[in-house]
Structure 1
Amino acid sequence: MKNLKYYLAAILAFSIWGFFSLVLKPLHAYASLDILFYRVFSCALIMLVISLLFKRQKIKENIALFQALPLKNKRNMVWLNVGGSILLTANWFSFIYVMNHVSVRATSVAYLVCPILTTLLAYFLLHDRLNRLQWFSVALSCVGCVLLSYTSISNMFFSTIVGLSYACYLISQHQNKGFDKFIILNFHIVLAALILIPFYPSFSGPLPTDFKFYFYVEIIAVIYTIIPLFLNLYALSGISSSRVGMILNINPIIAFALSGLVYHEPLGILQIFAYGLIFLAVIVFNIKQRIN
Structure 2
Amino acid sequence: MLHQKENISKATLVKTTKYYIAAISAFTTWGLFSLVLRPIHEYPSLDILFFRVFSCSILMLLIALLFKRKQIKETVEIFKALPKSEKRKSILLNIGGSAFLMGNWFTYIYVMNHVSVKATSLAYLVCPILTTILAYFILHEKLSKTQWISVGLSISGCVLLSYAAIMDMVFSIIIGLTYASYLVSQRANKGFDKFIVLTFHITLAALVLLPFYPVFGGPVPTEFKFYLCIETIAIVFTIIPLFLNLYALSGINSSTVGMLLNINPMIAFGLAAFFFKENITPLQITAYGIIFTAVLVFNSHHIFAIKQKMTTISKGS
Which residue among 150, 154, 159 is the counterpart of 2:167? Answer: 154
Distance 2:209 2:265 in 1: 28
Asked if 1:80 is matched to 2:93, the reply is: yes
Which SS does the other structure have where 1:176 is aligned? coil
Corresponding position of 2:112: 99
CA RMSD of aligned residues (A): 1.0
Q: 2:201 aligns with which of 188, 194, 199?
A: 188
Structure 2 partner of 1:234:
247
Matched AA of 1:90 = G
2:228 to 195, 215, 222: 215
Q: Could you state the TM-score of these two structures normalised by the residue count of structure 1?
A: 0.98
Tell me which structure has the larger Cα radius of gyration: 2
Compute the displacement of 1:199 (Å).
1.0
Q: Distance in 1 between matches of 2:47 and 2:235?
A: 17
Q: For the residues of structure 2 that align with 1:104 and 1:225, how far apart are their CA atoms?
A: 18
TM-score by length of 2: 0.91
Kindly indicate whether residue 189 of structure 2 is the aligned counterpart of residue 176 of structure 1: yes
In the TM superposition, residue 272 of structure 1 has moved relative to its aligned partner by: 1.1
Q: Once the 2 structures are TM-superposed, how far is the Cα of residue 75 of structure 1 from its aligned partner?
A: 0.6
What code does the residue aligned with 1:198 have? P
- Indicate the residue corresponding to 1:61 in structure 2: 74
Q: Report the Cα offset of residue 269 of structure 1.
A: 1.3
Indicate yes or no: 2:122 matched with 1:109.
yes
Question: Which stretch has the larger CA shift, 270-279 or 32-41?
Answer: 270-279
1:225 to 217, 235, 238: 238
Q: d(CA) in 2 for partners of 1:14 and 1:287? A: 19
Structure 1 segment 132-143 matched on structure 2, within 5 A: 132-143=145-156
C-alpha separation in 2, matches of 1:73 and 1:59: 19
**Cα offsets for 1:110-150 (capped at 9, x unmatched):** 11111111111111111111111111111111111111111
Deviation larger for 25-34 or 264-273: 264-273
Q: What code does the residue aligned with 1:118 have?
A: T
Q: Distance in 2 between matches of 1:45 and 1:287?
A: 41
Q: Match for 1:127: what amino acid?
A: H
Quote how far apart the aligned CAs of 1:159 are. Answer: 1.0
Per-residue CA deviations over 1:197-223 (Å, capped at 9, x if unaligned) read 111111100110111101100000000
Q: What corresponds to 2:5 in structure 1?
A: none
Instruction: Pick the aligned partner of 2:291 from 275, 278, 285.
Output: 278
The share of aligned pairs that are identical, in percent, is 64
**In the alignment, which residue of structure 2 is the partner of 1:244?**
257
Q: Hey, what's the Cα distance between the residues in 2 that align with 1:214 and 1:144?
A: 37
1:151 positional shift: 3.4
What per-residue deviation string (whole Å, max 9, x for no partner) do you get for residues 164-209 of structure 1? 1000000000011110000000000000001111111111001101
For 2:39 and 2:274, the matched residues in 1 are separated by 16
Alpha-carbon separation, structure 1, partners of 2:86 and 2:146: 36
Which secondary structure state, in structure 2, belongs to the residue aligned with residue 288 of structure 1?
Answer: helix
Distance 1:24 1:62 in 2: 34
Amino acid at match of 1:259: A
Provide, for residues 214-244 of structure 1, a one-character-per-residue CA deviation record: whole Å limited to 9, x for no partner. Answer: 1100000000000000000000000000110
Q: Which amino acid aligns with 2:96?
A: G
Aligned match of 2:7: none
Within 2, Cα distance between the matches of 1:288 and 1:84? 30
In structure 2, C-alpha distance between the alignment counterparts of 1:62 and 1:288, rounded to whole Å = 35
Which letter maps to 2:132? T
Unaligned runs of 5+ in 2: 1-13, 310-317
Amino acid at match of 2:275: V
2:22 — aligned with what? 9
Query: Structure 1: how far apart are the matches of 2:269 and 2:42?
Result: 22
